[in-house]
Amino acid sequence: MNAPDNKTLILGIGNLYRCDDAVGILIARNLNDRNSSRLNVQEQSGEGTSLMEAWEGFDSVIIVDAVSSGASPGSLHCLDASKDTISSKFFSCSSHNFGVAEAIELARAINQLPKSLRLYGIEGKNFEHGEALTPEVEKLIEPVANKIFQDISSLP
């Protein structure tokens, strides 16, 4: 798939029925509602091969997902995945054996990473079944969407 030169792919990762795990999708929807011609927004479950297929042909990709690294719930982690190794322990809330971190590292190993790959990880608190975000996570939807929208102007 060839991406238009002027578009950034936003991958909102998550599960709408696992509480805080929905935050990546909800932030992606917030960005999609802005109708920017620079954005191509997709929702994904976090399955690794699907992610690699989705970003094929894009130079700039932003992944937004809930994480569980042991930091305080509601913490925002911004990583440059095109330069920094991503530990699978960062995504310990994922139900996928081959998920976000594994897809990034495999793509790095076979030289198929996008030129710019940024990861915005929101530290979750509750990953049980349910549709309600915890307050610590819910309050970050608008600010993180705003930060991503501003950061896009600095992408190549």
H-type helices in 3-89, by residue range?
23-32, 48-55
Name the band, by pLDDT with cuts 50, 70 and 90, for residue 89: low
- What is the chain's mean pLDDT, rounded? 86
Q: Could you read off the pLDDT of 47-88 as tens digits, one per residue?
A: 888 898 899 999 999 999 999 888 999 999 999 888 877 766
Percent of the chain residues past pLDDT 70, beyond the cut: 87
Cβ 15 vs Cβ 99: under 8 Å: no
Domain spans of the chain?
8-152
Beta strand residue intervals within the chain, DSSP E: 8-13, 39-44, 60-67, 76-80, 116-123
Q: Which CATH number applies to 8-152?
A: 3.40.50.1450
pTM over 0.85? The answer is yes
Bridge partners of 11?
42, 63
